[in-house]
Amino acid sequence: MTDITRYHRQTLFHPIGEVGQEKLANKHVLLIGCGALGSSAAEMLARAGIGELTLIDRDYVELTNLQRQHLFTEEDVKNKIPKVIAAVNKLQVINSEITINSVVMDATADNLADYIKKADLIIDATDNFDTRFVINDLAHKYRVPWIFGACVGSSGMTFTIIPGQTPCLNCLLKVTPVFGATCDAIGVIGPAVQMVVTHQVTEAIKILIDDTKHIRSQLIIFDLWNNHYQSIDVSRSKQANCTSCGGELPTFPSLSYQNQTKSEVLCGRDTVQIRGKQYSLGDLASMLSKYGEVQTNAFLVSVVIDSMRLVFFHDGRTFVHGTSSIEEAKKLYYQVIG
């Protein structure tokens, strides 16, 4: 039985109450991405008393994150701590009663399924549509609700997706325009992040306590700076022949190998990610030492070569900082690795 004393103000809110609080204590939320949206959503959910949180993220903390990404500090930047590790360290101090799992990895079609099957709900806190399409297909394959969210500049959007009931992401994008700009081009402000997170976490709590009649069915789009807010009925956008959610045998196209991204430019980072062979971090540190000073911790090894910095993760991923050219990044990567 959960000690609900700490949640007294939340249980006083009639739609939740003590019954709803007990339901929250027995639910598992999967957060994919632990940057601006993910770190804030994780903190809200931890404080609300969600029984189990699993955080997945591929990145480590950098100085530019601190402007909008909650839970991280300058010390995390200095030590190049993976975001999920830094987040869990803070969340465990906030609420020691809940279970919090940290997973340092790139979310792909190959490795996400096992995590999604165990979750009651997925919150999208990613920064790219390749991963969102994978989430969309896996969520429909395993019938797990998920909440889409995105923001750039002073604008944001969010939509709650219930397999078998609402349009899926593929359906939605065929009839609804999405942001053409990225945070790399026009930046992003913290309040826009918090607005998206507020909508996502509120919807999450409704779903987790089974308050189905109050789940929002509209797509929310806003621009805080220009004072715009829209709530759009997109129910008619559900496609009977959608390859992700339509018909009796959807094909889930984003889960096929040929549709998976092997190398990509990371949003707002002047950085290319390459997925390659796994190496021992100790072996990498020795191999890289001939290029200059090597920094290492339990999760990654990094070195600066000329004007670029290479960061190798334990799961075989490498970040090449200082370029947005996949070709240039691969050239340096293979020069170093062979």
Residue 114 has a CB neighbour count (10 Å cut-off) of: 8
CATH class, domain 262-337, is alpha beta
Contact 91, 43 (CB under 8 A): yes
pLDDT digits (tens, 9 = 90+) for 141-184: 999 999 999 999 999 999 999 999 999 999 998 877 665 556 66
What is the residue-averaged pLDDT of the chain?
91
* Closest residue by Cα to residue 30 from 13, 8, 55: 55
Question: Which runs of E-coded beta strand occur in 234-306?
Answer: 263-266, 271-275, 294-296, 300-305
Domain boundaries, the chain: 5-257, 262-337
Residue 252: left if φ>0, alpha if ψ -120 to 50, beta else—which one? left
Q: In this structure, which amino acid lies at residue 122?
A: I
Q: What is the pLDDT of residue 247?
A: 77
Element (H, E) at 159: strand 155-161
Residue 181 has a CB neighbour count (10 Å cut-off) of: 11
User: 214: which residues sit within 8 A by CB, 6+ positions away?
Assistant: 15, 206
Side-chain-side CA neighbours of 148 within 13 Å: the count stands at 31
pLDDT digits (tens, 9 = 90+) for 181-233: 566 667 899 999 999 999 999 999 999 999 999 999 999 999 999 999 999 99
CATH 3.40.1160.10 fits 5-257, yes or no: no
Q: What is the pLDDT of residue 295?
A: 92
Question: Which phi and psi angles does 264 have, rounded to 5°?
Answer: -155, 155
Query: Does the pTM exceed 0.85?
Result: no
